Amino acid sequence: MAEVQEKSKMFAFFQPKIQKVRKVSLEKFLQMEFKPNGFKYEWNNGKIEKRKKMKAEERFIIDNILTKFNLTSSYAQGNRIMPEADILLASVSTYRRPDAVYLTKAQIRERKAFSEAPAFVIELLSESNSSLEMDRKLEEYFHGGIKVVWFISPEVKKVYVYTSPKNVQICTDDDLCTAPNVIEDFGIRVNEIFE
């Protein structure tokens, strides 16, 4: 018995510390002010999640996408792709800030949280994103009503175009990335994203 106790003491530092997380209502979260410290804060079913913001050296990626989008009929109708816009996915109890979001003119004009999920979001992947975290976020986005998700990996210059959690097109080099059934006349080649 003493040997078992000694071993448990010896390996105690390997055991994760469990911290109680106090849940916060969405209303309280929306009233909170966060310091501009290179992080963005998202609300996930009562828990506040701290994530790294888009890096300054990655802004050109979103700018290249916006420049191409600005040539579409969707842009001419007043719809926009907006960087780091807050979105509420009420059906899955989350409030997120993707790196870029496609919003219709009607959604942009709403004075409160969106009554309907955006159809298309873009996330830039970084070393701090675990595959489990991104899998969960992907499921969340589609269960929340989003129709197309791009995960862009600047490190390897790939774009993962999801039209469902199971259906993905992996784009590299000169492959054309689109937002099928969302923005019909929009497409950008991977090389154009990273130039």
CA atoms within 13 A on the CB side of 186: 24
Considering just the CA atoms, what is the radius of gyration of the chain in Å? 20
Nearest 5°: phi and psi at 160? -100, 110
Give the pLDDT confidence of 146-187 residue by residue, as tens digits.
Answer: 999 999 999 999 999 999 999 999 999 999 999 999 999 999
Is the pLDDT higher at 150 or at 129? 150
Domain covering 55-84+98-193, topology: tt1808, chain A (3.90.1570)
**Is residue 18 pLDDT above 70, yes or no?**
no
Burial class (CB in 10 A: 0-12, 13-18, 19+), 56: exposed
Among the listed residues 129, 102, 124, the one whose alpha carbon sits nearest the alpha carbon of residue 57: 124
- pLDDT-derived band at 126, boundaries 50, 70, 90: confident
Q: Is the separation of the CB atoms in 69 and 182 below 8 Å?
A: no
Give the pLDDT confidence of 90-121 residue by residue, as tens digits.
Answer: 788 877 889 999 999 999 988 766 668 899 99
Q: Is the separation of the CB atoms in 61 and 154 below 8 Å?
A: yes
Q: Is the separation of the CB atoms in 162 and 148 below 8 Å?
A: yes
- Mean of the per-residue pLDDT values for the chain? 83
What pTM does this model have?
A: 0.76
Show the tokens assigned to 122: 């873009």
- d(CA 149, CA 179) in angstroms, rounded, equals 8
Task: Give the CA distances from residue 76 to residues 98, 180, 186, in Å, rounded to whole numbers and listed in that order.
Answer: 23, 18, 12
Q: Where exactly are the structural domains of the chain?
A: 55-84+98-193
The pLDDT, as a whole number, for residue 187 is: 98
**Is residue 143 pLDDT above 80, yes or no?**
yes
At residue 10's C-alpha, the angle toward residues 5 and 14, to 5°, is 115
Q: Please give the distance of CA 80 from its chain centroid, rounded to a whole number.
A: 17
Q: Is the separation of the CB atoms in 121 and 146 below 8 Å?
A: yes
**Is residue 192 pLDDT above 80, yes or no?**
yes
Nearest 5°: phi and psi at 171? -110, 135
